């Protein structure tokens, strides 16, 4: 019985004038899967703005290439490893790191930094706590061993992720433009070399596994679909591939990720409008008696395919031997556009290469039509006083310090990291002579996006850009992982389509190209009967071209006596807020991005670049109360929120003043407010207090009194996750 959907089988049979054999079926099953073919999403992805004067290679390759300065370029990519991380959290997360690192490597770039975006069910459930602990273990174990620092991350908890956690990873790398290679095969007659680890039975059918819902029995049934990583081999692969590329031997390169050997090799040939003849008897194997089906679709890790001129094949094999890696010439590119595979003297696959790679029929789904309707706020009586409410938010899993997570990562290896994890953005020193640095931010807000996919996704995009502006960085590119449930459900497909529209519109407004990413559908669990919240997670990179010419602000208040300035309007926008989540409230107005996002970013960046901003913090989850608590945890502050206003110059109520998550707000601290305010013309801003004093005082006005928090109370509340993991 065929595992292919009946319509796909019919299409294939008609095109070939024969039914596919079992090995060919396996090839189609994986390459035509949603994970590889984007058959449900491609028409929406094409609406993203993808070009700028810095983009050398945009979406469609293993990673994007962005021009930095002179001949120095940045490679950036983002991937998901969701289903494997539920079935086997340590190996699933580790191989997610390994895969995205090889995507960067395949472009000719040395990987220099990682960011991880993790979404779990609530940690008070033992299974979720187990997944959380072992996913972090897998990321730390792999990243630390290969010497690539994790410099930024996001950890978010919601009960709807209990049956399907998300593990998304961003990687960036550096290269010289002359060393860029792509996955496009160049010439008929060139050799294809497979280099790296041996091919085993791990990761069988991983691409098709990623394109279906998780079942209650997934942990047992799908164990063979999870790859097993070896970071020590990965480190050797990095050095060997870079040496081969820098020696000028490599004409094209691809990582063996989703769909294994058939995925990487068929896509290389199809991109170059060439055919390929493979001999599976030449593939180094670790398992005895492996079938051609297993050899082609296994997703064993730490493997790369390289196109080389036949005259250079021996030199490349010698490089592999130098690093104690397996390598073999396994095929030759041809001009007949056929994907031909032999095993033990018999032809086991004979297919038109562009039909196999790129021929999947598009899946057309209609987004659910959404009628405009007022959202009623459901708010139970809250008897806690304002101080208790602030402390409860500081202790909530989505706001509490994630130090337990990032302390397990080696974030200083490669000695580029100048701002450590825990800040709004990571900062990496790139080139001291050219005064170049990169700022990195990541994340999204699933609670906002669930209630309003368009504005929630646009707001998440803007927030990442604001995180970069707080370091004085200019956003130059973004990548995304679009994580959703079953696209055949019109309501979920609407979430996806509106999220893409929101990201695209904000990216256009900020002139930031969307250069790559990944779509992960079918994130649902039979066990829990629900889809995940819509989670279009974002990674964004910014450039600092005069790095070192001014002080890079950190998140927390640095100097007592500094003037504290709030930029941006505070509105009655509590819908989807962490405050409502903690207290079981529903409905409300979801934050809407500001009208002039570019002006806000430019003003914040200009203020930071004066060198007179000692600390800067974007206001997001938990609102002003949380942002100020995070900034004040070392030296305190005295803050007056009575004078801030919102849209239409209305004064927000005390709940909104403390907990609204309105976009476009930043808190700056400065010893010279006149200089900083001089950069904020045309942007709403208020002087709200002074840093220092040994405690945090929030003066609310209007008869609501003062919220006074000791530094001990702030720190104690924020360490809830650390205490839990002990």
Per-residue HEC secondary structure of 637-677 comes to EEEECCCCCCHHHCCCCHHHHHHCCCCCCEEEEECCHHHHH
The stretch 349-356 carries a mean pLDDT of: 98
DSSP type of residue 285: B
Q: What is the predicted pLDDT for the residue at 223? A: 46
> Would you call 221 helix, strand, or coil by DSSP?
helix
Nearest CA among 366, 333, 613 for reference residue 472? 613
The DSSP annotation for 192-222 comes to: EEEEESPB-STTTTHHHHTTSPBPTTHHHHT
Nearest CA among 7, 31, 34 for reference residue 493? 34
Query: How far is C-alpha 267 from the geometric centre of its chain's CA atoms?
Result: 23
Q: Where are the alpha helices (DSSP H) in 482-562?
A: 490-510
The stretch 28-37 carries a mean pLDDT of: 92
d(Cα 274, Cα 269) in Å, to the nearest integer?
Answer: 5
Residue 81 designated active-site = yes
Cβ neighbors of 589 (< 8 A, separation 6 or more) are 375, 571, 572, 573, 574, 575
Cβ neighbors of 12 (< 8 A, separation 6 or more) are 4, 19, 20, 28
Residue 642 CB burial class (10 angstroms; 0-12, 13-18, ≥19)? middle
pLDDT tens string 562-605: 999 999 999 999 999 999 999 999 888 999 999 999 999 999 99
Q: What is the predicted pLDDT for the residue at 703? A: 65
Q: What is the predicted pLDDT for the residue at 647? A: 57
The stretch 58-66 carries a mean pLDDT of: 96
Q: Where are the alpha helices (DSSP H) in 247-325?
A: 260-271, 292-297, 313-322
d(Cα 547, Cα 549) in Å, to the nearest integer?
Answer: 6
Q: What is the predicted pLDDT for the residue at 705? A: 85
Q: At 229, list the tokens.
A: 């990583």
Percent of the chain predicted with pLDDT > 90: 83
d(Cα 585, Cα 382) in Å, to the nearest integer?
Answer: 10
Q: Which of 44, 81, 411, 617 is catalytic?
A: 81
List, in sequence order, every residue forming a beta bridge with 710; answer none if it has no partner. Answer: 695
Question: Over 90: is that where the pLDDT of 702 sits?
Answer: no
What's 551-590 look like in SS3? CCCECCCCCCCCEEEEECCCCCCCCCCHHHHHCCCECCCC
d(Cα 576, Cα 578) in Å, to the nearest integer?
Answer: 7
Q: What is the predicted pLDDT for the residue at 171? A: 98
CA atoms within 13 A on the CB side of 569: 21
pLDDT tens string 188-244: 999 999 999 999 988 785 454 444 455 545 454 444 557 788 999 999 999 999 999
Question: Over 80: is that where the pLDDT of 646 sits?
Answer: no
Q: At 12, list the tokens.
A: 């294939």
Q: At 105, list the tokens.
A: 């490597």
List, in sequence order, every residue forming a beta bridge with 338; answer none if it has no partner. Answer: 352
Question: Over 60: is that where the pLDDT of 648 sits?
Answer: no
Question: Over 90: is that where the pLDDT of 676 sits?
Answer: yes
d(Cα 23, Cα 341) in Å, to the nearest integer?
Answer: 10
d(Cα 432, Cα 213) in Å, to the nearest integer?
Answer: 48
Domains in the chain: ranges and CATH = 183-202+244-357 (3.90.650.10)
Q: Strands, E, within 34-190: which ranges?
A: 55-57, 64-69, 72-80, 110-120, 150-157, 166-176
> Would you call 542 helix, strand, or coil by DSSP?
strand
d(Cα 696, Cα 315) in Å, to the nearest integer?
Answer: 65
Give the pLDDT band (50/70/90) at residue 374.
very low
d(Cα 441, Cα 468) in Å, to the nearest integer?
Answer: 7
Q: What is the predicted pLDDT for the residue at 199? A: 95
> Would you call 482 helix, strand, or coil by DSSP?
strand
Nearest CA among 230, 414, 260 for reference residue 324? 230
d(Cα 468, Cα 542) in Å, to the nearest integer?
Answer: 6
The stretch 23-42 carries a mean pLDDT of: 93
- Only one residue has tokens 């928090």, namely 709
Cα-Cα-Cα-Cα dihedral of 374, 380, 386, 392, to 10°?
A: -100
Nearest CA among 183, 210, 282, 251 for reference residue 35? 210
Give the pLDDT band (50/70/90) at residue 273.
very high
Taking a C-beta distance cutoff of 8 angstroms, is the pair 522, 222 a contact? no
Question: Over 60: is that where the pLDDT of 457 sits?
Answer: yes
d(Cα 77, Cα 59) in Å, to the nearest integer?
Answer: 9
Q: Which of 101-115, 542-556, 633-647, 696-710 has the highest average model confidence (pLDDT)?
A: 101-115
Question: Over 60: is that where the pLDDT of 432 sits?
Answer: yes
Q: At 599, list the tokens.
A: 């002006």
Q: At 396, list the tokens.
A: 């909530």
- The CA R_g of the chain, rounded to the nearest whole Å, is 26
338-343/346-352 β-pairing: antiparallel
Q: What is the predicted pLDDT for the residue at 214? A: 55
Question: Over 60: is that where the pLDDT of 76 sits?
Answer: yes
Q: What is the predicted pLDDT for the residue at 211? A: 47
Residue 448 designated active-site = no
Instruction: Tell me how many helices (H) and strands (E) the chain has.
Output: 26, 28
Q: At 250, list the tokens.
A: 């490599």
Taking a C-beta distance cutoff of 8 angstroms, is the pair 85, 167 a contact? yes
Question: Over 80: is that where the pLDDT of 287 sits?
Answer: yes
Taking a C-beta distance cutoff of 8 angstroms, is the pair 252, 186 a contact? yes
* pTM value > 0.85: yes
Cβ neighbors of 646 (< 8 A, separation 6 or more) are 569, 570, 571, 572, 652, 656, 662
Higher pLDDT, 722 or 204: 722
Q: Which helix (H) or strand (E) holds 707?
A: strand 706-710
What are the backbone angles phi and psi of residue 498, rounded to the nearest 5°?
Answer: -70, -35
d(Cα 137, Cα 445) in Å, to the nearest integer?
Answer: 24
Least confident interval from 161-175, 497-511, 644-658: 644-658
- Only one residue has tokens 């174990």, namely 141
Question: Over 60: is that where the pLDDT of 372 sits?
Answer: no
Query: How far is C-alpha 340 from the geometric centre of its chain's CA atoms?
Result: 36
Question: Over 70: is that where the pLDDT of 387 sits?
Answer: yes
DSSP type of residue 423: B
- Only one residue has tokens 């906002």, namely 448
């Amino acid at each position: 019985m065929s595992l292919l959907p009946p319509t796909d089988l019919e299409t294939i049979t008609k095109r070939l004038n024969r039914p596919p054999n079992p090995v060919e079926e396996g090839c189609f099953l994986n390459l035509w899967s949603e994970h590889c073919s984007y058959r449900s999403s491609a028409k929406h992805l094409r609406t993203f703005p993808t070009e700028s004067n810095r983009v050398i290679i945009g979406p469609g390759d293993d990673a994007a290439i962005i021009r930095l300065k002179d001949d120095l370029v940045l490679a950036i990519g983002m991937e998901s490893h969701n289903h494997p991380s539920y079935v086997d959290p340590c190996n699933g997360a580790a191989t997610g790191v390994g895969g995205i690192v090889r995507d960067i490597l395949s472009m000719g770039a040395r990987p220099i930094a990682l960011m991880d975006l993790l979404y779990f069910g609530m940690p008070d459930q033992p299974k979720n706590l187990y997944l959380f602990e072992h996913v972090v273990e897998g990321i730390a174990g792999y990243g630390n061993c290969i010497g690539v620092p994790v410099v930024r991350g996001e950890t978010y908890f919601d009960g709807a992720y209990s049956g399907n956690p998300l593990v998304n990873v961003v990687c960036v790398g550096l290269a010289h433009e002359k060393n860029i290679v792509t996955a496009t095969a160049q010439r008929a007659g060139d050799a294809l070399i497979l280099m790296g680890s041996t091919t085993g039975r791990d990761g069988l059918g991983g691409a098709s596994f990623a394109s279906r819902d998780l079942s209650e029995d997934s942990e047992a049934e799908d164990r063979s679909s999870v790859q097993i990583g070896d970071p020590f081999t990965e480190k050797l692969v990095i050095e060997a591939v870079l040496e081969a590329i820098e020696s000028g031997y490599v004409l094209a390169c691809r990582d063996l990720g989703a769909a294994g050997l058939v995925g990487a090799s068929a896509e290389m040939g199809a991109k170059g409008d060439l055919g390929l003849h493979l001999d599976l008897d030449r593939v180094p194997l670790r398992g005895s008696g492996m079938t051609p089906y297993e050899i082609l679709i296994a997703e064993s890790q730490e493997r790369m395919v390289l196109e080389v001129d036949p005259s250079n094949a021996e030199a490349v094999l010698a490089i592999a031997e130098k690093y104690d890696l397996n390598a073999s010439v396994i095929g030759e590119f041809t001009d007949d556009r056929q994907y031909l595979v032999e095993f033990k003297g018999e032809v086991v696959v004979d297919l038109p290469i562009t039909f196999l790679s790129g021929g999947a029929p598009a899946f057309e789904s209609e987004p659910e039509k959404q009628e405009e309707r007022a959202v009623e706020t459901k708010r139970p009586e809250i008897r806690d006083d304002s101080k208790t409410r602030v402390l409860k938010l500081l202790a909530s899993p989505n706001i509490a310090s994630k130090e337990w997570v990032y302390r397990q990562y080696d974030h200083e290896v490669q000695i580029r990291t100048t701002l450590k994890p825990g800040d709004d953005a990571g900062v990496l020193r790139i080139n001291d002579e050219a005064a170049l640095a990169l700022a990195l931010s990541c994340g999204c807000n699933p609670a906002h996006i669930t209630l309003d996919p368009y504005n929630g996704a646009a707001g998440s995009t803007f927030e990442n850009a604001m995180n970069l502006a707080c370091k004085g960085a200019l956003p130059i590119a973004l990548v995304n992982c679009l994580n959703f449930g079953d696209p055949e459900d019109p309501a979920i497909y609407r979430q996806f389509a509106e999220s893409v529209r929101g990201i695209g519109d904000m990216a256009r407004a900020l002139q930031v190209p969307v250069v790559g990413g990944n779509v992960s559908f079918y994130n649902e669990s039979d066990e829990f009967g629900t889809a995940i919240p819509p989670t279009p997670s974002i990674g964004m990179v910014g450039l600092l071209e005069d790095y070192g010419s001014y002080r890079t602000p950190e998140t927390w208040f640095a100097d007592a006596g500094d003037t504290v300035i709030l930029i941006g309007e505070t509105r009655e926008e509590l819908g989807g807020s962490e405050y409502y989540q903690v207290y079981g409230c529903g409905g409300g107005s979801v934050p809407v991005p500001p009208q002039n996002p570019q002006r806000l970013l430019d003003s914040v960046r200009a203020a930071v670049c004066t060198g007179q901003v000692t600390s800067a913090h974007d206001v997001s989850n938990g609102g002003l109360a949380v942002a100020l608590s995070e900034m004040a945890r070392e030296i305190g502050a005295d803050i007056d929120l009575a004078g801030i206003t919102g849209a239409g110059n209305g004064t927000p109520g005390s709940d909104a003043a403390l907990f609204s998550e309105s976009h476009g707000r930043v808190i700056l601290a400065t010893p010279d407010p006149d200089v900083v305010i001089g950069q904020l013309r045309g942007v709403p801003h208020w002087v709200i207090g002074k840093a220092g004093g040994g405690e945090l005082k929030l003066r609310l006005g209007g008869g609501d009194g003062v919220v006074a928090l000791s530094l001990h109370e702030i720190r104690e509340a924020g360490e809830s996750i650390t205490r839990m993991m002990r």
